[in-house]
Amino acid sequence: MLLNINNLHISYGQVEAVHGVSFHVEKGELVSIIGANGAGKTSIMNALMGIIPAHSGDIFLNDENITALPAHLRARKGIRLVPERARVFPNLTVYENLLIGIYKMRKEVDLTKNLEWIYSFFPILQSRKNQAANTLSGGEQQQLSIARALISNPNILLVDEVSMGLMPKLVDTVFEVLQNINKEFGITILIVEQNALASLKISHRGYVLEAGNLVMEGTSQELMNDPGIREAYLGI
């Protein structure tokens, strides 16, 4: 089991945002956590990355307890986060943004090979590699954010609300890229997403998060066929 979360609680002061959730992600899987705005999805991602502490509970990566590790050491172990709203470095070029993704690993990766791999998925980034990131469209910036996380060939990619602010056509493109990355290279991906239908369509399994509690899990097809999920999250 690549990632195993056991009884995770996350609090902000006296307010508990996530109430003892437990879930897992197997190596090579693409898994979604769906839920409404404010359900606690981003809090879970930030806790997995080490950006915020867990109040209690355990986070295991490859059977190693990493709950107390700071974010930079989790990154060294191959956890990468694609944050919501495509946070790129606006005044740096596309190429410079990509280099930041391997800043601490320059001696451990083949830069030329990894760039070729990234550009095969994101050809628009290759054609605009010398442009400042703030000249890219919103969809292109989101692709850059994903590419920056991928360039180090992570063990697991955490993707937080990738569809936020994107036009529907761009949402389809970004989700298709994530699915292809998982299928062709076996990179494990955990997505948290409000756009439940788009996310579940590309996932193997899913979890439903409501008000900080995991209330349902199953294969993506099982969740998409559930009448309650269809009404509450899929709009069908």
Q: Could you state, in order of their start, the residue ranges of all structural domains in the chain?
A: 3-234
Count of CB atoms within 10 A of residue 193's CB? 25
Question: Per residue in 80-128, pLDDT tens?
Answer: 999 987 789 999 999 999 998 886 555 556 778 889 989 998 999 999 9
| Rounded average pLDDT over 50-69 | 97
pLDDT at residue 110 in the model? 75
> What is the β-pairing status of strands 79-82 and 156-160?
parallel
3-234 under CATH 3.10.450.40, yes or no: no
- Degrees (nearest 5) of the Cα angle 45, 25, 56? 50
Question: Per residue in 174-210, pLDDT tens?
Answer: 899 999 999 999 999 999 999 999 999 999 999 999 9
Task: Say how many Å lie between the first and final Cα of the chain, rounded.
Answer: 34
Instruction: Give buried/exposed letters for 133-169 (b at 16+ CB in 10 A, else e).
Output: beebeebbbbbbbbbbbbbbbbbbbbbbbbbbebeee
pLDDT at residue 84 in the model? 85
